[in-house]
Amino acid sequence: MQRRNWIAAAAVCLAASPFMASTASAQAWPTRPIKLVVPFPPGGLIDNMARLVAPKLALELGQSIVIDNKPGAGGNLGAAEAARAAADGYTLLMASPPLTISPALYSKLPYKPEQIVPVALLGRVPNVLVVNPASGINTVAELTALAKSKPGQLNYASNGQGTSLHLSAELYKSQSGAFVTHIPYRGAAAGLTGLMAGEVNMMFDNLPSALGLINGGKLKALAVTTPQRSSALPHVPTMEEAGMKGYQVFAWFGVAAPAGLPAPVAQKLEQALERVAKQPEVQAAMQKAGAEPTWVNAQGMASFMQADTAQWKKVASFAKITLD
């Protein structure tokens, strides 16, 4: 009897050993360097934020973090690489708006959205509606009135089809009822140049890249797109304050991972990111870059991403935008 009991107990232990080994491995994570995929070229906002966070996170986790820039297809190539990676915590993704915009614009993506899970939202960046100071337009209401009085005669710049800047303008059109023609440029800088040259009448841009021109008097800011005013432009109203009820758009950044990340790894990573995000020097660096430090855990980030995708699907349907 004792021998049979011993054999049964041994069998249970052997059956459980793979799970126990997996759990122990997850709890020991990380034991080697981690790759952080950035789906954009070096030098942009998302890349800069990744390079701000990575060394701080490396110190928290005790392992180096290697930035791997994988630009292309509006951020979809980098997302696809992360989605295909092993869900072991050694490949992470610098998450950004394409994760919520692309599902609204493409019927076919190089990855499935459910293959990527959020870990933490770290910050957000307002877009800002700007016009040429020579236009004499001082408020969103004045812009809307002018656009409605000249349907299709006013136009706006963006940095390309299907971008956050393009969709910000289409959301404005859907809420205001104004008909303004889209003029896509090769990048935001070219669009701003066109606006200053009088080629277009308005543009939404990420605040950091437009801020110097606004402060220098070369552009006039009519409103920011976040729910609260920006500390960088405290005198500029929000779109909601300017009459666009419920208007809310912002670029954002955080960390995501391949689906199936072991719970102990996900918890350890989220806790480490929270400590990094709440460091005063990290927050100061984000604010200097024009971003707003915004700590949101994995559950909250998932809810945000779901709502953001739903909003962009409505806008894409209104504007009849598809990129397949």
**Is it the case that residue 291 has pLDDT exceeding 80?**
yes
**Is it the case that residue 27 has pLDDT exceeding 90?**
no
- 8-state DSSP, 35: E
Contacts of 28 (CB under 8 A, 6+ apart): none
Q: What is the pLDDT of residues 133-172, one digit of tens each?
A: 999 999 999 999 999 999 999 999 998 888 888 999 999 9
Residues 226-248: what's their mean pLDDT?
92
Residues 270-295: what's their mean pLDDT?
94
Share of the chain above pLDDT 70, in %: 92
Supply the mean pLDDT for the chain. 90
Higher-pLDDT residue of 287 and 302 is: 302
**Is it the case that residue 17 has pLDDT exceeding 90?**
no
Instruction: Give the residue extent of every domain in the chain.
Output: 32-124+250-319, 126-224
Contact 100, 79 (CB under 8 A): no
Q: Where are the alpha helices (DSSP H) in the chain?
A: 2-28, 45-61, 76-84, 98-105, 140-149, 164-176, 188-196, 207-215, 263-277, 280-288, 298-319
Q: How far apart, in whole angstroms, are the C-alpha atoms of residue 265 and residue 253?
A: 20
For the ranges 11-25, 135-149, 290-304, the lowest mean pLDDT is seen at 11-25
Nearest-10 Cα torsion for 212, 125, 233, 201: 60
Q: At the top level of CATH, which class does the domain 126-224 belong to?
A: alpha beta
Q: At the top level of CATH, which class does the domain 32-124+250-319 belong to?
A: alpha beta
Residues 100-116: what's their mean pLDDT?
92
Q: What is the pLDDT of residue 13?
A: 53
Q: What is the pLDDT of residue 6?
A: 45
> pTM of the entire structure?
0.81
Strand partners, 34: 65
